[in-house]
Amino acid sequence: MDKKYLTFLIFILGSLAFNATAQNCNVAYLGTKTLYKAPSAKASAAPAGYKAVFINHVGRHGARHLTKEVSTSFSYGFLNNADSAGQLTTEGTRLWAMVKKLDKVEHKHVKSISAEGVAELNGLGDRMYQNYQAVFKGPVKLSVAITKEVRTKQSADAFLAGMKKNLKDSATVEEYPDDLHLRFYDLSPAYTSFEESAPSNGELVRLKQQLQVEKIEEQIAAKWLKDISVLKTATVAKLVSDVFGFASIVPSLKQEITEAGFKPGDLNFESFFTCKEIQVLGKIDAAEDYYLKGPGVDNNGLQVRIAAPLLADFIKSTDAWLAKPEYTARLRFAHAETIAPFAALLEMSTANKATPKGQDFEQNWQAGQVIPLSSNIQWVIYSNGKGSHLVKFLLNEKEVSISGLKPVKAGYYDWKLVRSFYLAKLQHLGLGMDSDMLQYLKELK
């Protein structure tokens, strides 16, 4: 065989192998953009004589589009200028072409849930009815809370569409905005400062140094630019972050990509990263969520205590139903920043573990398992008809235990003990059931 031809063949096969590896890393890097999966395990049977009577629910919006137009991103403007200046490599030119395709897909869709998100929420609503049919016998009246973001309204509509297809009679829906209990993180000056200080967070700094993130980001950007010196370290990070964000949003846009006239491979942003690179970037992304929204190094930290208003709302709405069963279910549609701290505050065993400084958080907390797209928390209330009530806790429709509480039967907890347990948590924070929660958030330190 001709030596030049053999060399060329080896080069081509090597390139194909590299691309195949980059596109099939089998690395769980999507984090909070992980698509929701319905649980496969069957729910455990309730204790004899008990049946489900009421559901208290809060869920994250479904799979979504980007939250801002591609054309307004740093990467779009930079790649456009670099292309005009002849500064893009072959890979950089391929990236720029792909970014423009994503812009076409996303134009006028930003901030909304995608077709994938609609399907996720349809399924959630359908399964809630199918799994707890006893709750929905007779007239159905639903309390539905949303936030100021349109994707929570769209998620509520999709959820209700999935549920209502099962109802023989029309359901009464009372919908209202509720940022106090669902976007509590926006109402606390202390939390805003905490979030803005993320770049100086000791554990994040340590982890980035350990993983050599700055070096990896430079290596990535160097594939796209003939001269990386035109970028400062901060803007290198911004460029790489944008492209990584594009890679993680694409799985949510399958139908929209087809409708725009493209094939999935036309927007394979994942192919711009090696498996190691995508693993490192995914870990840093998850770490930021863990330390800023989850248990972090202290499960009693500001980032968890911020969810106290929602806990009080769950207790009060459950009390209200027990006193007078007005609503069939209380449904709330919010954000990842709502679910993560609430799950930790509730002491849900798969979402409440803090990690000592210097240790690897991934053994205690997985973003894709705790707060994937359409993630949700449910309290299902059971009654024996004789004044006794139990609570089953679900995280993403899976039964979960509560650290510090002993169940009556695996998965089922006595409501009186649950109520006392969480009231004690609120009291420890200086709160009662009638406390001014807005004032609490403003004064939180």
Given a cut of 60, whether residue 18 has pLDDT beyond it is no
- What is the total residue count of the chain? 445
**Segment 323-381, tens digit of pLDDT:** 999 999 999 999 999 999 999 999 999 999 999 999 999 999 999 999 999 999 999 99
Q: CB within 8 A of 200, min separation 6: which ones?
A: none
What domains can be seen in the chain, in order of their start residue? 31-65+111-197+275-443 (3.40.50.1240)
Q: What is the predicted pLDDT for the residue at 6?
A: 44
The alpha carbon of 419 is separated from its chain's Cα centroid by a whole number of angstroms, namely 27
The span from the CA of 288 to the CA of 195, in Å, is 10
Look at the alpha carbons of 344, 347, 352, 356 in this order and tell me if their dihedral is positive or negative: positive
Given a cut of 50, whether residue 405 has pLDDT beyond it is yes
Residue found under tokens 């027990």: 322
Could you tell me if 142 and 317 are in contact, meaning their C-beta atoms sit under 8 angstroms apart? Answer: no
Burial 203-237 (b: 16+ CB within 10 A, else e): bbeebbeebebeebbbbbbbbbbeebeebeeeebb
Q: What is the predicted pLDDT for the residue at 22?
A: 41
Beta bridge partners of 139: none
Please report the beta strands in 303-388, taking only residues with DSSP state E, as ranges in sequence order: 329-334, 376-383
Nearest 5°: the CA angle 92, 255, 153 is 110
Strands 51-60 and 329-334: parallel
What is the identity of the amino acid at 12? Answer: I
Average pLDDT over residues 159-187: 94
Q: What is the pTM of this model?
A: 0.93
SS3 330: strand
Look at the alpha carbons of 10, 12, 13, 18 in this order and tell me if their dihedral is positive or negative: positive
**Segment 243-278, tens digit of pLDDT:** 999 999 999 999 999 999 999 899 999 999 999 999
Nearest 5°: the CA angle 194, 280, 264 is 105
Closest Cα partner for 255 from 269, 241, 267?
A: 267
**Segment 53-103, tens digit of pLDDT:** 999 999 999 999 999 999 999 999 999 999 999 999 999 999 999 999 999
**Segment 280-301, tens digit of pLDDT:** 999 999 999 999 999 999 999 9
Q: What is the predicted pLDDT for the residue at 168?
A: 77
Residue 247: CA atoms inside 13 Å, Cβ hemisphere, count? 27
Q: What is the predicted pLDDT for the residue at 43?
A: 86
